[in-house]
Amino acid sequence: MKKKTTKPSFKSYVIKLWMLFFAGIGLIALLFWMAAQGWLGYMPDFKALENPQTSLATEIISADGQTLGKFFRQNRTPVSFEELPPHLINALTSTEDERFYDHPGIDAKSTVRAVVFLGKKGGGSTITQQLAKLLFHKEGSKNILERIIQKIKEIVIATRLERKYTKEEILAMYLNTYDWGHQAVGIRSAARIYFGKEPQDLDIHESALLVGMLKNSSLYNPVSKERRDLVLQRRNVVFHQMYRNGYLTEKEKDSLQKLPLGLNYTPELHNTGIATYFREKVRRFMKQWIKDNPKADGSYYNIYTDGLKIYTSIDARLQRNAELAVAEHMKNLQKEFFRQGRKNKTFPFADLSAKQIERLMQRAMKQSERWRAMKKAGIPEDSIRQSFFVKQKMRIFSWNGDIDTLMTPYDSIRYYKSFLRAGLMSMEPSTGFVKAWVGGINFKHFKYDHVDQGARQVGSTFKPFVYATAIAQKHLSPCDSFPNTPYTIKKGRWGLTKSWSPKNAGGQYGGWLTLKEALANSVNVITARLIDMVGPKPVIDLAKQMGIKSEIPYAPSIALGTPDITLFEMVGAFNTFANQGQYIEPVYILRIEDKNGKVLYEYKPVTRDVLSPQIAYVVTNLLEGVTQYGSGQRLRHTGMKNHPVYKRVVTGYPYAFRNAIAGKTGTTQNQSDGWFIAYVPNLVTGVWVGGEDRSVHFRSIAYGQGATMALPIWAVYMKKNYADEELGISKKPFKKPQGIDINLDCDKKENEEQNQPEDSPLEDL
């Protein structure tokens, strides 16, 4: 007989169903608890939530509040919620999380919708969840289980974030963390890179474009021309969402959707932008400063991740003017150099034999990055050398833009050596603040900084040190006269092993010249007389007191500018004349702060009295003669026929300055270096122009002199500065101190005894 089976009752089904339901709830709760405890992988604690480990860029800031550049691994510079425009926030919440202000970090409605429709009708992540993912997780895993666990962790983190921060702070954190591509990490970098603006200056259509990119910054990136229609469509979706949420009227929406993208792509790379050479100088400074200033815990600051702020003395407006001036003149000068080079079989080199050129090129090959890298890789030298003669695709510099070409590395070295280089530095006399720093013609292609890395022969720009020494020691006047005749310092005097007889440029002699006339026209024989009167040591001592650190040999020939000195040192030294005889060490970094605004470094001025204000003013008076009727007088002309560079009548060249300018040109042997250092009452500027190698130069003095190579850069720069009245560059006369007992009026008749200085070396004639 079969045993009768009983069917489970409905009640038992209900009980089992509820048990299953509660078991599921319990399992989910357990998973969330395990995630919160960190049992399902790393979970940040509250300390980590307060200080998320995001990589922050170090910012270099100009004196006028502009960002000159950044050091970064991720180009992120955070901004506060108050710095974000309302339409950006409205666009963000309308598009990414409509109920952002109403949920506790998790939007149940969106989550259910995402689960039911498998994400086809929108995702379930809130802005807070997206922030959690950005801060503490990598990209989502393809493994379903891992994705579930990650989602659980995001929800836990999101709820913690909501408890810890205000809604406004969460929005700011999210926008400060998102990566928009092209080194634009965070809203500030994105605004600057895609539109050349600060976030608070973004227009509504610009904000909408950036919000639209949040869906996928790679897919909806406006830099790609092929995707701009897609980007436009996505931006217009944002406008629709803003209309839907009441932030735009239908008329406003329709009008905005017709606007073009309005992209102003301005990449922030280490090789591009403003003040590139100066930024590299700051990097070198910071490298040493970090070594010397460890943190309290013994670790070291990192300029690429610690979000430091470096406040500098550079004025971004002056810096731009300086860079434009260098580019404007050097482009024309280079064209002329290339034109003349066609006649030279050894171009760009002059005065060298074929063997000398080959030795120079071999040395350049061994100093190249290619040689160093291949040598480090263990490649034999013969193979390395052969590689320099194999043509390769490369992008090379030209003044009309980079050129893609096929060239051997050997030929590229020679090609780059054919470009004339330049350096410019400006500083403020009273403070020592460096206001502009241009180390070369293009940092991407020419890394060497000709402001402070390249010491070159200074030529006649050294003569003011000789004149200043003679005036201070012998109480000479600019009106004192000396014969313009050949002069010899005999063997044995000042340690000379043989007699020294300098020649005037062009071999011009005759008559008597005042010191003002002699310096204005760089008369060598009179400068030789002066150093013979005082000796080399006092001149060297004065130059050192004025900030010259480069080696100056003990020899009377230094009077004509034989020492190699950097532009940085020369501008600092001339600043002593402009600053009434007080030397002040050039300052370019004013303050360093950490990411929280704590001051880590603040500059302390280094000053010393070198000359009396009266002597400094007398030297300034002498240097004014250079621009009034000497080698710098072209600054005063209203036009110049047959200009050696421009080859035409240039109306206003060189710029018809009428204000007080003290300065000195300098030209070295064979025209290898052209200098012009000049100042007005509140700005001292020095310019150097020359080749990478001293054998790269113009063959004629007409083109190779400082008045042609360097002075026009100063003139263009100052013309631009004067055009901007807000810069406040002085046009006033130099301030004359009281107590000057030296005659400065050379038209005034003086008796012979007063005009003839004591201890004059005339007996040596």
Lowest mean pLDDT among 201-205, 649-653, 723-727: 649-653
Mean pLDDT score, 641-657: 57
pLDDT of residue 232: 93
Superfamily of domain 77-257: Biosynthetic peptidoglycan transglycosylase-like (1.10.3810.10)
Q: Is the per-residue pLDDT at 759 higher than 50?
A: no
d(Cα 417, Cα 415) in Å, to the nearest integer?
5
pLDDT of residue 11: 66
Nearest Cα neighbor of 194 from 148, 231, 169, 165 is: 231
pLDDT of residue 279: 96
Domain limits of the chain? 77-257
291: Cα separation from own chain's centroid: 22
Peptide bond into 348 cis (omega under 30): yes
pLDDT of residue 611: 97
Tokens 């200074």 sit at which residue? 458
Instruction: Give the model confidence (pLDDT) of 251-285 as tens digits.
Output: 999 999 999 988 998 887 777 889 999 999 999 99
pLDDT of residue 74: 80
One-letter amino acid for residue 646 of the chain: Y
Cβ neighbors of 21 (< 8 A, separation 6 or more) are none
pLDDT of residue 758: 36
pLDDT of residue 642: 59
Confidence of residue 21 (pLDDT cuts 50, 70, 90): low
pLDDT of residue 132: 81
Nearest Cα neighbor of 439 from 271, 310, 662 is: 271
Query: Where is pLDDT greater, at 576 or 641?
Result: 576
Cβ neighbors of 330 (< 8 A, separation 6 or more) are 399, 420, 422, 441, 689, 713
Instruction: Give the model confidence (pLDDT) of 136-193 as tens digits.
Output: 655 555 555 556 566 667 777 777 788 788 999 889 988 988 989 888 889 999 999 9
Across the chain, what does the average pLDDT equal?
Answer: 87
d(Cα 139, Cα 757) in Å, to the nearest integer?
84
pLDDT of residue 121: 52
pLDDT of residue 276: 95
d(Cα 324, Cα 717) in Å, to the nearest integer?
8
Instruction: Give the model confidence (pLDDT) of 55-71 as tens digits.
Output: 888 999 999 999 999 99
Q: Is the per-residue pLDDT at 337 higher than 90?
A: yes
598 neighbors 293 (Cβ within 8 angstroms):
no
Report DSSP state, residue 248. Answer: S
d(Cα 136, Cα 54) in Å, to the nearest integer?
9
% of the chain surpassing 90 pLDDT: 66
d(Cα 436, Cα 281) in Å, to the nearest integer?
12
Q: Is the per-residue pLDDT at 650 higher than 80?
A: no
Buried residues in 552-573 as b, exposed as e (16+ CB within 10 A): beebbbbbbbbbebbbbbbbbb
Peptide bond into 737 cis (omega under 30): no
